[in-house]
Structure 1
Amino acid sequence: MTKFDEFKNKEKFLQDDKLFYPGIGDPNLKPVLTEKINLAADDFKKLADKGNATDKEYQNVIKFGLDRFADLYLQLDTEDRERVCSYFEELMDIVGLESSDGHLNNFMYGFDPTKK
């Protein structure tokens, strides 16, 4: 089983004391958020399967994946948005991507604090 499959198969948005995550704020959102995260994993896997994907291509996949959350963004509390970002960081770790090119910061804070 690949790391992407392992990622997709694990239950998401559960309480995680290591991350100080209390669990999903609104349990009704859990299946929808899980599906969106798993779609992002599929996007990463497709790109990884190409064998020669660039950092920019992965960063575009991150932006596309985060854009899937736009319809629910206002329903997510800070902890849930942080958890979404940490799932993307796990996907980045799988492919060895160092930077989201600011996309995670934009999602979390509405801007990238590293850019002036």
Structure 2
Amino acid sequence: MKKIYNSINLEKLKNIIDEQEVQNKPVAYDLLEELVFMKETMEELKATVQLHGATYIFRQGEQEYLKENPAMKSYNATVTKYNATIKQLLSLMPVSTNEKDAFMEFVTSD
């Protein structure tokens, strides 16, 4: 892992999972690693879209039309998977309201 983002700090989340009664800790750790990877990937894709735009003019012979940037398509697919992975991770967390609220606050904080 190259970098750890403020919104998903893998080490801090691992500590939270270690301290709580998480249903399946190895799965939770794997999900955290995937989340970090997806976040890094989304940052790269976002930079590509910001640099080159969400669409481009596709030319083939005399025809030309507006086409979605493949990086935009990948970004959208990754965001969907990212959100599903977060939901899956949260489903492993204990039901206790205080602990879940603290976890959610941590995950969503900047």
TM tier, smaller: 0.3 to 0.5
More strand by share: 2
Return the TM-score normalized by structure 1. Answer: 0.42
Which structure is richer in relative contact order (CA contacts within 8 A, separation 6 or more)? 2
The higher radius of gyration belongs to 2
Return the TM-score normalized by structure 2. Answer: 0.44
